[in-house]
Amino acid sequence: MKLIKRLTRVLPLYGWIPLAAAFAWNMLVYSGAKVIAGGWHHYNIETEIDRMIPFLPWTVSIYFGCYIFWIVNYILCVRQGRKEAYRFLSADFLAKCICLLFFLFFPTTNTRPQITGDGFWNQAMRFLYWIDAPDNLFPSIHCLVSWLSYIGIRGRKTVPYWYRGFSCVAAISVFISTVTTKQHVIADVAAGILLAEGCYFAAAHTALSAQYGKFFDRITGRILQRTGWEVSGEE
């Protein structure tokens, strides 16, 4: 019980299950699309500008490091209260649904550079290319999630101004890393940003957020019923 109390100081009980569900849905969309459409024809939407962007292996540190940024900011966004948490998480859910449609009906790929040399960053890039095939590119989930991580706390006075600024810079750094590691092209980045903004707006101006909240409140309530705990958090 003491452990639960400590954990609720980091993440309110109402956020546990929907946040876990968001992670599971992201993995299902990304991996499921690869299984279904992996052998299908993929379109290459690279432009001349994309080909002019330099390949910078050291930026893989940003590409991998952003996972820490996402974890911290997703928790921060959910801590803003039940209403804002469900707006944020329902936007994330909707965005991943749209990503799945693109991955299946407009699968894309790009051209990766030949990596030469044995330096640390070159080895890190080889590892990235080994674990991640050049598909599921449009829209970029890396850019989508990074921008959602920023707009979820944008304008929130409960979050220090300096950290909001840092989050914006971090998200933009991720955008840059996706094209300098040749994981994505500019169109992928733009689509990820627009999708984040559009879904966040839709979550606030439709019944999506409220229905999403009712669904997870019901599930969370049933799971916690036997423990005697209440789902806490601001309305």
pLDDT in tens, 26-49: 999 999 999 999 999 999 999 999
Nearest in space to 173 (alpha carbons), one of 95, 59, 71, 47: 59
100 vs 122: CA distance, rounded Å: 31
* DSSP calls for 37-70: HTTS--EE---HHHHHSPP-GGGHHHHHHHHHHH
Q: Write out pLDDT tens, residues 160-176.
A: 999 999 999 999 999 99
Q: Position of tokens 């229905």?
A: 211
Query: With 50 as the cut, is the pLDDT of residue 195 above it?
Result: yes
67-100 b/e with 16+ CB inside 10 Å = b? eebbeebbebbbbbbbebbbbbbbbbbbbbebbb
The stretch 88-95 carries a mean pLDDT of 98
Query: With 70 as the cut, is the pLDDT of residue 90 above it?
Result: yes
pLDDT at 37: 95
Task: Name the helix (H) or strand (E) containing 109.
Answer: strand 108-109
109 vs 227: CA distance, rounded Å: 48
Positive or negative, the CA dihedral 82, 84, 87, 90 is negative
pLDDT at 226: 65
What Rg, from alpha-carbon coordinates, does the chain have? 19
Cβ atoms of 209 and 86 within 8 Å: the answer is yes
Cβ atoms of 149 and 167 within 8 Å: the answer is yes
Q: CB under 8 Å, gap of 24 or more: what pairs does 196-201 form?
A: 196/91, 196/95, 196/143, 196/144, 196/145, 196/147, 196/148, 196/151, 197/147, 197/151, 199/91, 199/92, 199/94, 199/95, 199/98, 199/148, 200/87, 200/88, 200/91, 200/148, 200/151, 200/152
pLDDT band for position 220 (cuts 50, 70, 90): confident
Amino acid identity at 183: Q
Give the global pTM.
Answer: 0.92
SS3 193: helix
The stretch 127-148 carries a mean pLDDT of 97
Query: With 60 as the cut, is the pLDDT of residue 1 above it?
Result: no
Query: With 70 as the cut, is the pLDDT of residue 203 above it?
Result: yes
